[in-house]
Amino acid sequence: MPVWIWYTALRILLFAVPLAVLLLAGVNPWVSALVAAVFGLSASLLFLRRQRESIASDLYAARHREAPAVRPDDEEEDAAIDATAPEPRDEEHPAAS
């Protein structure tokens, strides 16, 4: 299972469980949501450090590849675009008639 799915599921649980507990205890819904959000953020910062760092390193690696990712059809698409592109013309200095 990808790390980002695991991280997202845990973040949702860290919000949903306190929210459900507070709502079942009869706390105002707005206050429950605010407290659950603060708790979820705090708990994820404290307990999900490894997952967060893993996601960050995966994103960094994807953005800073030495060679760009080449898909099989990229060369064919580039050739098709080059074949249909009009030839550049020198319109700055038109020929005298």
Q: What is the pLDDT of residues 45-59, one digit of tens each?
A: 999 999 999 999 988
Query: Looking at residue 20, what is its pLDDT?
Result: 98
Q: How many domains does the chain have?
A: 1
The answer to whether residue 71 sits within a structural domain is no
What share of the chain in percent tops pLDDT 90?
54
User: Residue 76: which pLDDT band, with cuts at 50, 70 and 90?
Assistant: confident
Range of the domain at 25: 3-65
| Residue 11 belongs to a domain | yes
34, part of any domain: yes
Tell me, yes or no, whether 41 lies in a domain. Answer: yes
Alpha carbons 2 and 39: distance in angstroms, whole number? 25
The predicted model scores a pTM of 0.61
The whole-angstrom separation of Cα 55 and Cα 12 is 17
Residue 68: band (very low, low, confident or very high) from pLDDT cuts 50, 70, 90: low
Q: Are 9 and 46 in contact (CB under 8 A)?
A: no
Look at residue 89 and tell me if it is in a domain.
no
Specify if 52 maps to a domain: yes
The answer to the question of residue 72 being in a domain is no
Burial of 10 (0-12, 13-18, 19+ CB in 10 A): middle
**Has residue 54 been placed in a domain?**
yes
